[in-house]
Chains A and B, each alone.
Chain A
Amino acid sequence: MLQIRHLKKTYNAGTDNELKLFENLSIDFEAETTALLGPNGCGKTTLLELIAGRKEQDEGAMCLQGKDITADGERARAAYIARVHQDPSDGVAPSLSVLENLALADHKGKPFTLRKLVRKERIDFYREKLAELGLGLENKLSSLVQDLSGGQRQSLSLVMATMKEPRILLLDEHTAALDPATSQTVLEKTRELTARHRILSIMVTHEPRSALRYADRIVVLSRGSVAMDVRAETISERELLETYLHA
């Protein structure tokens, strides 16, 4: 479980543009998929950035499974947190091949040395991981990632992010740049992967329908505080949409 307590974050403090985003946010996340919704500027992405350690909170604490991780920086948190970004190119190295990208993700958490990166004995494992997606990527191991479609690239990002089974998976509008059909495929694969490995995942989205279909819990943020926090099965799309629009 990820516990966030008394989180405070202000942008441009002491200036005319001061923005008090979180004044006292406390929220828990379980090992399930939580959809995070809310209008622009409500703090969704900032919350992900704070959890990832990419930004520092002004005050507050974070505990993961009872261990205080507040002092851990971005690099330390990368050991147990993975992220899939909105832009399909953000989670991959486009000029490298699919195989090389997977080998990089496979090496996460170990020291990078002058030894060879790509190990032949791991190729079958990579093929299996890609085959789970059902996109035929397992036959494109030597293709350059820059030659893949946006959906294939995002699916590869997802496989890379979950390869080392992180304890937390942050999904930052990860299907926003995809067409509806590809978006659905990626969301289904996300659901399968997170459920199979019981990963705590937080999915930022602007689509109430996707949130209800693919998340276990719905949290709507409004001006830095929680406006709604319900189980996905207990709310209709219309109710969610109304809360979302008035948040």
Chain B
Amino acid sequence: MLSMLLISLEQGLVFAVLALGVFITYKILDFPDLSVEGSFPAGAFTFAKVVTSGGGLIAGLLASLLVGALTGLLTSTIFSRLRIRPLLSGILTLTLMYSLNLRINGKSNVPLFSTPTLFRENIVGNILLLLVIVLALKFLLDRFFRTQIGYMLLATGDNETLVSGLGEKVNRYKTIGLMLSNALVALSGAIMAQNMRFADINMGSSIIVVALASIIIGDTFLRKSKKIKGTTRAILGALIYKLIGGAALYLGLAPTDLKGINALIVIVFIAYNQFSPSAWWTRFRKNILAVPERGKMHVADSSS
């Protein structure tokens, strides 16, 4: 039980970096960016290439960030220059990245057993290190959103007419957001590769569902509170999501069921977010218990 909890926390923190990245495109820019399914393995493969070529840990992580940012730039270029819809732009990028990722190392799976890594044998130490990384990224992102460019990014997702009315290029801020988002996603991929001790071509498959699930779960957490920042919600969502997945495995479900569980978690939390207890109770009283509404009772009484 404790082992399941610790492993879920560890992986949840890795996915928190992913969720922070997707939070920028999904929640702020309202841009359905599927290219993260290409940038996540790109981060892993770039890291693998750097460390297996003798580069250090930091060089590997920085290279992953750079490749992720370039992936975002590619999606943005396809979207803004060629005027292809965001969804298709992302699909085209992830398809292109599949081949590029295979080119980076020349094979679909790269073992990372004897290369530099963030992770040690002590899982509690690993969790603490990841926590520091995630909190540092959250702090930097929150600070960024208080800058002039950060506010323009928020305004771009909110109202593009305002941004052009201020004399600014909307696509400039979409590009910045996509680059930042994919850089974080690639970093998450690089950390995940170290955690799993290999980089695999299929590790990006359905990763968007994981990220969206984390964000949606995070939105559910104290959903009426306006004091919890979106970045905090994304991190909490990733942790809760992995804990639910871990609990499902602990209760006996097969690892092959995980993708189905992922989809179910998203459906349940979206349904919960749209559920209003007061509206449900009103409908229940009216339709099932056949209790007339107060105003109508008064009318009925006066007519009788």
Which A residues are within 8 Å of any B CB, using their own CB? 54, 74-76, 78-79, 82-83, 85, 89-96, 100, 103-105, 107-109, 112-118, 144, 161
Closest to B162 in A: A93
Contact of B151 among A82, A85, A103, A161 (CB under 8 A): A103
Contact of B155 among A54, A76, A96 (CB under 8 A): A96
B168 touches A75 (CB 8 A): yes
| B158 interface hit (Cβ, 8 Å) | yes
A96 touches B165 (CB 8 A): no
Q: If A75-B167, A96-B154, A109-B167 touch, does A117 touch B161 (CB 8 Å cutoff)? A: no
B147 touches A82 (CB 8 A): no
Q: Majority SS of interface residues in chain A?
A: loop
Closest to A161 in B: B165
Contact of A75 among B152, B155, B158, B164 (CB under 8 A): B164
| B263 interface hit (Cβ, 8 Å) | no
Q: Closest CB-CB distance, A119 to chain B, in whole Å?
A: 11
Note all chain A residues with C-beta closer than 8 A to B169. 75
Q: Closest CB-CB distance, A215 to chain B, in whole Å?
A: 23
Note all chain A residues with C-beta closer than 8 A to B152. 104, 112
Q: Closest CB-CB distance, B160 to chain A, in whole Å?
A: 10
Q: Closest CB-CB distance, B177 to chain A, in whole Å?
A: 14
Note all chain A residues with C-beta closer than 8 A to B161. 85, 90-91
Give 20 CB contacts A-B under 8 Å.
A74-B164, A76-B167, A78-B167, A90-B162, A91-B165, A92-B162, A93-B158, A93-B162, A94-B158, A95-B154, A96-B155, A104-B152, A112-B148, A112-B149, A112-B152, A112-B168, A114-B147, A115-B147, A116-B146, A117-B151
A90 touches B159 (CB 8 A): yes
Contact of A82 among B144, B159, B165 (CB under 8 A): B165
Q: Closest CB-CB distance, B156 to chain A, in whole Å?
A: 9
Note all chain B residues with C-beta closer than 8 A to A74. 164
Which one of A75, A79, A109, A118 has the greatest number of beta carbons of chain B within 10 Å? Answer: A75
Q: If A91-B165, A94-B159 touch, does A113 touch B151 (CB 8 Å cutoff)? A: no
Note all chain A residues with C-beta closer than 8 A to B1. none
Note all chain B residues with C-beta closer than 8 A to A144. 226
CA distance A116 to B147 in the complex (A): 4
Q: If A75-B167, A108-B166 touch, does A117 touch B155 (CB 8 Å cutoff)? A: no
Closest to A113 in B: B148
CA distance A79 to B150 in the complex (A): 21
Closest to A83 in B: B165
Q: Closest CB-CB distance, A152 to chain B, in whole Å?
A: 16
Contact of A79 among B155, B162, B164, B167 (CB under 8 A): B167
A96 touches B151 (CB 8 A): yes
CA distance A89 to B155 in the complex (A): 12
Q: Closest CB-CB distance, A209 to chain B, in whole Å?
A: 29
For the A-B complex with A79-B167, A85-B161, A112-B149 known, give 16 more contacts whose Cβ atoms are closer than 8 Å.
A74-B164, A78-B165, A78-B166, A82-B165, A91-B165, A93-B162, A95-B157, A96-B151, A100-B151, A103-B151, A104-B152, A108-B166, A113-B147, A115-B147, A117-B151, A118-B146
CB under 8 Å from chain A, chain B span 165-199: 165-169
Note all chain A residues with C-beta closer than 8 A to B162. 90-93, 104
Closest to A84 in B: B165
Q: Closest CB-CB distance, A39 to chain B, in whole Å?
A: 25
Q: Mark B130-160, 1 if CB is under 8 A from A, else 0.
A: 0000000000000010111111101101110
A93 touches B159 (CB 8 A): yes
Q: Closest CB-CB distance, B139 to chain A, in whole Å?
A: 15
Q: Closest CB-CB distance, A123 to chain B, in whole Å?
A: 15
Note all chain B residues with C-beta closer than 8 A to A114. 144, 147-149
Note all chain A residues with C-beta closer than 8 A to B226. 144
Note all chain B residues with C-beta closer than 8 A to A82. 165
CA distance A114 to B161 in the complex (A): 22
Note all chain B residues with C-beta closer than 8 A to A54. 164
Closest to B160 in A: A90
- List the 10 shortest-distance A-B pairs measured between CB atoms, nearest first: A78-B167, A93-B158, A112-B148, A93-B155, A117-B148, A117-B151, A114-B147, A108-B166, A90-B161, A75-B167
Closest to A91 in B: B162
Note all chain B residues with C-beta closer than 8 A to A113. 147-149
A92 touches B159 (CB 8 A): yes
CA distance A92 to B151 in the complex (A): 13
